[in-house]
Amino acid sequence: MDQQQSIYPGKPFPLGAHWDGAGVNFALYSEHATAVFLCLFDADEKETTTIQLSERSGYIWHVYVPGMKPGQLYGWYVDGPFEPQNGHRFNRHKLLLDPYAKALAGTLKWNETLYGYNLQEDDLSFNESNSADSMPKCVVTDPSFDWGNDRRLGTPWHKTIIYELHVKGFTQQHPDIPEDLRGTYAALGHPVVLQYLKDLGVTAVELMPVHYFTDTQTLSEQGLSNYWGYNTICFLAPESRYSSRKDENGAVLNEFKEMVKALHGAGIEVILDVVFNHTAEGNEKGPTLSLKGIDNSMYYRLAEDARYYNDYTGTGNTLNTQQPAVLRLIMDSLRYWIEEMHVDGFRFDLASALARGLHEVDRLSSFFDIIYQDPVISQVKLIAEPWDIGEGGYQVGNFPPGWSEWNGRYRDCIRNFWRGENSGLGEFAERITGSSDLYKDDGRKPTASINFITAHDGFTLADLVSYNEKHNDANGEDNRDGQNDNLSWNCGAEGPTDNEEVLALRRKQQKNLLATLFLSQGVPMLLAGDESGRTQQGNNNAYCQDNEISWLDWQHADTELLDFTKSLIQLNRAHPVFQHKGWFQGMKIHGADTEDIAWFRPDGSMMNDEDWDKGFAKSLGIYLSGKGFKSRGPKGELIADDNCYLIFNASEEDLTFRLPQEQYGTEWKVVLNTANGAAAENAFGAGSEMHIESRSVCVLLNPRKG
């Protein structure tokens, strides 16, 4: 078929490439383009046909090609003014990725052809070399898939336990997964992995970026890669390097869907870490891969001198969410992943950058408005990383209703508490009860707080208690990259040691931090591998380490710590008292006896106002009433939940704790203690004294009366 002759005007919507069974409609948005060309490629990625589009509706260029089928490879050439000083960087010689592509084939090959200017000159020069041979190609896809009865799970926020993982790193070294599947979506949906996640007790996996992303040229030249994936270039296409079916164009879609379906079948939600704040095209010195060549001045936030970019992300550029077309791209992407890929929610990387007005972060910006009113997007889990690197970018507690947030203040407070910093008990009490000071005033609940001790960015839990300093030499940046202040404590020796006392303290500190996480109100998030002692050898910025530094070491997992973590999660899930949907009624931290919560000093007396401000104080007891809650008995029957007494002793000394008086419970049973065999007996009466080791957590339960 002569496709140059057999074309029709087509329609402006939907954007991207849409196969209707008889042919394919192509549509691309560009406000300032003067000409748009659709380039078609054969299975060997050789150019076969170029079609100049003659139809434009508003700013959308479109064409329909009859007879075309899924699997067709394509890309765009876009012509227009090359005026960097005015923000325009059109270059007819650069093959561009479709922002709405659903799948990509091939890989990016770094060389000078990818740049719109000559590398030996400045960015005002013009590069006429064609980049098609160095670019991946977009794939026309077939959206059909047999989902069966699959649907989003809708796990309530207060019953959610998040597990942050990397698709490749989680399974790359798993001995029970076939080698040809390791590191792929198929591996994550493998029965061995599903059983592990179920046994662990998590309810959702938060996948580090799976939108199609690129490595940077600098990393490629160093033999490294953008392992974490925060370098997105296509917001609707899944990353193909995680596909086990790399030889099949578009097959990555079905493999991703099969993974989601398998996880849902195991009762586990899928949350995507999405990067809408920037793209892989960088600043004025970056490559021309997609949006920069389609309409640079519209898609990116430019400085007053339009040659340059406003960079609130540390990556060179920031998407311009003030533009309706950019907002539409983001919303179309979110709806696609919800409706077509069945994901259950999103974590927005550097979300403050999306909320900026001209410069300031605006909690009432159009970005929030359009999500709030959307009947699809507003109904899934929405999580903000509530900061960016720009001035005023730290916005923990300031996102609007409907959003949960990575609570960086929780992370910092809990780390400081257990490493012995003098900061007072008041903030510690706020953090473990849901951070009402951050979320209560705007009508949000404790579940607005995503509590975490560690995440992909920073030390793992094992490294947090093993290193005072970062050790990032493997990154090739002379240890300059990564955070310098990690709020960590090595427990007496830096890195690996044979000192048994240090090793025992590190083990207990890991348990203390894990226990605090799962005993706190809010939504706990566990970093994959923290439950089994994963180390990155002190690297707190392993973004470029696609190797054993980052991959989970299943062969040397700490099974004792794993069993402890399972028991913690089981305790959390079994007792609704740890899963408050609302705030404690006596949220103001006074010593008054309240119906649902009470605070005690080690001597058994109630905390008073002065006690909260003592920076040296590192110990307290917390009574939580089970009144009004129902838990499941051994046969699944509903019974009144137990009262709970939590003892936190972060001091350097062993202490004697007196349990509450009879009005709070007549008999208490120890169900968890991070110290090894600290309790001489398992049950204690009201007012009894308990020996609590230094730096330890103890949990006691009492069947609720009445």
Q: For residue 688, with 0-12 CB atoms within 10 Å meaning exposed, 13-18 middle and 19 or more buried, which class applies?
A: middle
- The first and second tokens of residue 44, run together, are 């060997």
Does the pLDDT of residue 680 top 80, yes or no?
Answer: no
> Across residues 397-406, what is the average pLDDT?
94
Is residue 221 part of the annotated active site? The answer reads: no
Distance from C-alpha of 672 to C-alpha of 287, rounded to nearest angstrom: 55
Collapsed DSSP state (helix, strand, coil) of residue 16: strand
As separate numbers, helices (DSSP H) first and strands (DSSP E) second, the chain gives 15, 31
Does the pLDDT of residue 200 top 80, yes or no?
Answer: yes
255-272 pLDDT, tens per residue? 999 999 999 999 999 999
Asked if 49 contacts 40 with a C-beta cutoff of 8 angstroms, the reply is: yes
- The first and second tokens of residue 245, run together, are 């079916």
- Four-point Cα dihedral 455, 461, 467, 473, nearest 10: -50
370-381 pLDDT, tens per residue? 999 999 999 999
Distance from C-alpha of 175 to C-alpha of 334, rounded to nearest angstrom: 35
555-591 pLDDT, tens per residue? 999 999 999 999 999 999 999 999 999 998 754 333 3
- The first and second tokens of residue 97, run together, are 């990725």
Does the pLDDT of residue 652 top 80, yes or no?
Answer: yes
What is this structure's pTM? 0.96
**What pLDDT does 587 receive?**
45
What lies within 8 Å, CB to CB, of 57 at 6+ separation is 11, 12
Is residue 349 part of the annotated active site? The answer reads: yes
**What pLDDT does 616 receive?**
80
**What pLDDT does 678 receive?**
45
Q: Which of 349, 546, 596, 642 is catalytic?
A: 349
Q: Is the dihedral of CA 368, 447, 406, 570 positive or negative?
A: negative
Distance from C-alpha of 118 to C-alpha of 95, rounded to nearest angstrom: 16
Does the pLDDT of residue 364 top 80, yes or no?
Answer: no
Q: Is the dihedral of CA 281, 287, 288, 292 positive or negative?
A: positive
State which H helix or E strand residue 347 sits in. strand 345-348
Q: Which of 385, 430, 531, 642 is catalytic?
A: 385
